[in-house]
Amino acid sequence: MTLVTVVCGVILADRLILQAEWWQVNRTVTHAPHPPLADLGPPPGPVTVSWQLSTPVADSELPAYDRVAYTVMEGELVVVSGHGLTVRDARTGRERWHYYRGQWSLLGWARTGHVLVAYLERTGHRGNRLMVGLDAVSGTLLWRQRGDVPAATERSTLRWPAGYGVVIVTEDGRHTLYGRAAATGRRVWSKRLAHGCLLPEAVPYGSAASDGVAAFGLDCGARDRTLAIDPRTGRTLFTTSAAHPAVSVSGNVTVVFDGTGLHAYDRNGREFLVRRGEGVCRDMCPAVANGGRLFIAYDLARGPENGTETRRLESIDIDSGSLSWRRDMSGYTALSVSGGLLYGLRSRLADPLLPAGIDVIDPATGAGTTVPAPLVTRPGLDGVRPWLAAGGGLLYVAVPTARPRPFGAARLVALRGGVRGAGPPELAGVPARDWPDACSLLTKHDLPRGYAPEPTTVQIEGVRLRAGCTYRLRHHKHRTSDGPEREAATLSVTVQWVAADAKAASALFWAARDTQSGARDPVKAGDAAYGLGAPSGTVVMQVDRTIVTVTANVPNRATQLATLIATRLRAAA
């Protein structure tokens, strides 16, 4: 009798305390009017920050799931992290509602229609899991369910497939798909996978969905495959054989990269695009379908994994598979279509300049304008996949940062059209004549004897800048007293940006600082500076509206030269 009492007491405590909403959940709702958001991004031309947000990467017992992701829906910006869901007015960034759950981690999310679905697991107890449906506009709890797990979470965004008012889930064995009505949580269909196939738990680009198609990369042993279904009914649309397929979906188009080539299929499974090569994608190529066309960016050849692999953007007619136009540019990492314009995010405006780049393109012709974005991307940073969306005259861009330490954060900026200056849009309206020649910032009297300058020219569309200068000894190698040759010291100066004013330069400088995990503060040079290396072999410095990087492989020389350059820039202002 005592044992029964103890067992019943433990079960009751678990239900009333451990699983109770009242003490675990920090949740708000809103009854404010629905915020409108027109299908419109900023026009071609310079952009400036309307508002911005930094979201720290959560620290959980499952580091692979420590991610931040975003979506724009119903006039709201949804921010997803391991901490929970925060929904903000997409026009202003002000919070509308949130759902956090203490001692639980959010490990997946889905959206369809006006519903957000969150999947959570209790910290230290992975078998204790919960799925909740929430009204996206108000934050009202619609339903809760225990037992199901997401169908193939995409690890880089924590998102799993949902569409046409149905969220797609599975069970522990991962051999069956179930469709649950997003508004009620009621099961509406089930689908057993082919014998020997199962859903991956979480892989990069392992699944995706729209209202018309949900696609999954299945593990089927010797012959993996891609499965595309109708999310409303669970009916199979088509299957393809592909080894370890990476999958993305936009509209009624499914894109598959299998490590040997890139393939695109319409809703009936007709293949209308093939691009062969192991290096055409890194994990998955950015793609978006709109107006009967697929816009897709891929690499022309395998290159170093530095975040700038993508080189070509193409417009493909979905019905015929014919090429409409192409643009060869560097580093596309995200695409978005809004208000009759195609927006492309590039990791760099041009190497070695500091800002990221945004292309604003006419989808019909491929003609476009390239403008700098007031943010910086770095290869190797994790926590958020570069993301792009447009609406309400704004363009939303998210990139990873290294700060706050130790896990970093996601930085989101909402951009609006900026002031058009006298110069080209590629330089944010700053005339090219305002840029100093990098080789003019040091004279021969500033350098050790025998160093000669080698200028580096940067070209952005029709604009050419002498933004870099490397100084080398006329004889690159010389013999030491004991005989063997050694490489001579080299110096370099790079003008990484000239902003419209000191305030814009400062914002970009500190945005760059936030992406450097090994930066050393402070360095006394210019208006602000930080060092890289120990001792600082590289100094990044802001002087008024100019950002300059100085590198020397002789200890402390970079700081000395940066101080000279700062004096020269101030004198020329």
Same domain for 530 and 384: no
Q: How many domains does the chain have?
A: 2
Q: Which of the listed residues 418, 451, 474 is the one where a domain comes to its end?
A: 418
DSSP letter string, 498-546: E-SSHHHHHHHHHHHHHT-TTEE----SSSEEEEETTTTSEEEEEETTE
Residue 307: pLDDT over 50: no
Judge contact between 519 and 532, C-beta under 8 A: yes
- Residue 14 covered by a domain: no
Determine the pLDDT at residue 339.
Answer: 93
Residue 409, classed as helix, strand or coil, is strand
Cβ burial 96-135 (10 Å sphere, 16+ → b, else e) = bbbbbbeebbbbbbbbbbbbbbbbbbbeeeeebbbbbbbb
Q: Which of the listed residues 418, 448, 478 is the one where a domain comes to its end?
A: 418
Residue 478, classed as helix, strand or coil, is strand
Same domain for 219 and 301: yes
Residue 313, both tokens? 């953007």
Same domain for 386 and 450: no
- Residue 15 covered by a domain: no
Q: What is the CATH number of the domain that holds 30?
A: 2.130.10.10
CA–CA distance, 108 with 81 (Å, rounded to integer)? 9
Judge contact between 439 and 446, C-beta under 8 A: no
Residue 161: pLDDT over 90: yes
Judge contact between 330 and 345, C-beta under 8 A: no
Same domain for 444 and 308: no
Same domain for 491 and 367: no
Same domain for 440 and 401: no
- 323-345 mean pLDDT: 93
% of the chain at pLDDT higher than 90: 69
What is the edge-to-edge ordering of all strands in the sheet holding 332-338? 332-338, 341-346, 356-361, 368-373
Same domain for 406 and 441: no
Same domain for 480 and 408: no
- Residue 423 covered by a domain: no
- Residue 426 covered by a domain: no
Residue 434: pLDDT over 70: yes
Least-confidence region, from 24-38, 259-273, 354-368 = 24-38
pTM of the model: 0.91
> pLDDT per residue over 216-232, tens digit each?
999 998 788 999 999 99
Judge contact between 133 and 139, C-beta under 8 A: no
Residue 298, both tokens? 């891929």
Same domain for 282 and 401: yes
> pLDDT per residue over 60-102, tens digit each?
777 878 899 999 998 999 999 988 999 999 999 999 999 999 8
Same domain for 322 and 436: no
Same domain for 411 and 452: no
- Residue 11 covered by a domain: no
Determine the pLDDT at residue 2.
Answer: 46
CA–CA distance, 192 with 183 (Å, rounded to integer)? 24
- 377-404 mean pLDDT: 93
- 319-346 mean pLDDT: 93
> pLDDT per residue over 470-522, tens digit each?
998 876 555 544 544 444 667 999 999 999 999 999 999 999 999 998 888 78
- Residue 445 covered by a domain: yes
% of the chain at pLDDT higher than 70: 91
- Residue 484 covered by a domain: yes
Which residues span the domain enclosing 323? Answer: 24-418
Q: What is the CATH number of the domain that holds 516?
A: 3.40.1000
Same domain for 336 and 472: no
- Residue 424 covered by a domain: no
Q: Which of the listed residues 389, 418, 447 is the one where a domain comes to its end?
A: 418
Determine the pLDDT at residue 268.
Answer: 96
